[in-house]
Amino acid sequence: MKRVGIIAGYGDYPILLAKSLRQKNYEVHCLGVRDQCDPKIAEDCHAFHWMGFGQFGKAVRLFCKNHVTEAVMAGGIAKRQFHRSRLIWRYLPDFYTIRLFAPHFIFRTKKNTVDSLLLTCVEAFERYGIKLLPGTDIAPELLVKREQITRIAPTAAQWKDIQFGWNVAKEMGRLDVGQTITVKDRSVVAVEALEGTDECILRSGRLCQGFTVVKVAKPKQDMRFDLPCFGIQTLQNIALAGGKVIAIEADRSIFVGQQEAIDFAEKHGIAIVGLLEEDAKNGGLLLKE
């Protein structure tokens, strides 16, 4: 039985990944990030331990003790946690964590963008021979497929919004600002930043109704972490805010709770499409063929 580790943040993705790996006969060792991870994940794990934001030393020791040499980062981390005041006193990091993140938070010689911080997390494990893998390599069934996912299709005007929004979203990703934007009548309504996708969507609803959500991977997306992810919670917020479409990048995004999410979207008149770059540029024409 092959061992694999999961470093689990918030959301359903880590839970679905653990379940998928267990069904494939993996021995799953999970480190759940405290205040982020759903403890339900432990049901599908051979071993489960909590780790704090500042406990990378503990995390590495646990994996090494259990002979885990391959691991996956799955789920989100509330990015605003990294920008709270008195960060060091709040999380009481161990010496290994301080050494790793001092260039970010003490000496300020490294950027505090999402990619920069997550690459340091990767380095924390790989220094000790623990290779970080893309979760989608071992559970590809969780990826968004290139298709019209709901029976409801975007209108011609909504396809124009997708077409317009795709390039803007990609540019925001290139700048490491966020992965989601909302669009109405080829105008940008809101851009995701530190607040996350859900708050971006809810903010859009306070500005207008009937908007389109475009969620994409970064142009140079590292498939090991921070993949675009959506499911029932995202769709509930779209319905609450008055959105009508979500277009998400196929083959580079995670779709959790697929059938439940599709049923909810169709009940609330929300169209879901999984697109590649060429589909977006051609206004969905390639997708419809």
249-258 per-position pLDDT tens digit: 999 999 999 9
Could you tell me which CATH class the domain 143-288 is placed in? alpha beta
Q: Is the pLDDT of residue 289 over 50?
A: no
The second-level CATH assignment, the architecture, of 3-138 is: 3-Layer(aba) Sandwich (3.40)
Among 76-80, 213-217, 248-252, the minimum mean pLDDT is found in 76-80
DSSP assigned state of 4: E
More confident residue, 106 or 155: 155
Tokens encoding 76: 């989100």
- In whole numbers, what is the pLDDT of the chain averaged over residues? 93
How confident is the model at residue 197, as a pLDDT? 94
Q: pLDDT tens digits for 113-139?
A: 889 999 999 999 999 999 999 999 999
Q: Is the pLDDT of residue 267 over 90?
A: yes
Long-range contacts of 276-281 (CB under 8 A, 24+ apart): 276/146, 276/249, 276/250, 276/251, 277/166, 279/146, 280/162, 280/163, 280/166, 280/247, 281/163, 281/166
How confident is the model at residue 81, as a pLDDT? 66
Q: Cα separations (Å) of 151 from 180, 204, 253, 276?
A: 23, 25, 20, 19
Q: Is the pLDDT of residue 78 over 90?
A: no
Domain definitions of the chain by residue range? 3-138, 143-288
Is the entire prediction scored with pTM above 0.85? yes
More confident residue, 82 or 172: 172
How confident is the model at residue 155, as a pLDDT? 96
Q: pLDDT tens digits for 29-53?
A: 999 998 899 999 999 999 999 998 8
How confident is the model at residue 53, as a pLDDT? 85
